[in-house]
Amino acid sequence: MNSDIKKYINEIKKIIPINSKDKKDFLKMMEQRILESSNLENKCDYDNIVKEFGKPNEVAASYIEEIDTDTILKILKRKQYIKWLISILIIAIILISIFKIYRLNQLYEIAKNELDLREELEIIEE
């Protein structure tokens, strides 16, 4: 695939805020349309693609307009839920790590104190 086609498709992909199977299908369809058009006219540079199909933001806007509002809200809510879940997991991991470090430090201090007591006992016996 031509680098100009990749650039055009990637710009559309960046603009569309949701990730779904429909988005992937739309991008594949756009890619096929551009390839078919470029094979017919032998014009496959970025400017010709923009002239033929429109600016990437216009194409992305037309795709977003066609999507049902409920679908967009559902996908965005799912994204928000996943972000919250990941945040909670990260915080939990950090808190557990802090607790384990604290507990290991306590065990280290206990072991260190026991070692000091053994040394003192040995000195007294001699």
Three-class secondary structure of residue 3 per DSSP: helix
Instruction: Give the residue-averaged pLDDT of 62-75.
Output: 82
Annotate 62-95 with DSSP letters as a single string.
HHHHHS-HHHHHHHHHHHHHHHHHHHHHHHHHHH
User: Could you give the CA distance from residue 17 to residue 104 in angstroms, rounded to a whole number?
Assistant: 45
Same domain, 81 and 51: no
Together in a domain, 29 and 61:
yes
The verdict on 57 and 12 lying in the same domain is yes
Whether residue 27 is found in the same domain as residue 74: no
Q: Answer with the one of 27, 49, 67 that is the final residue of a domain.
A: 67
The residue range of the domain holding 26 is 1-67
Could you report the per-residue pLDDT of 7-65, keeping only the tens digit for each?
888 999 988 888 788 888 989 998 888 888 877 656 677 888 888 888 988 888 888 88
If asked whether residues 61 and 77 sit together in one domain, one would say no
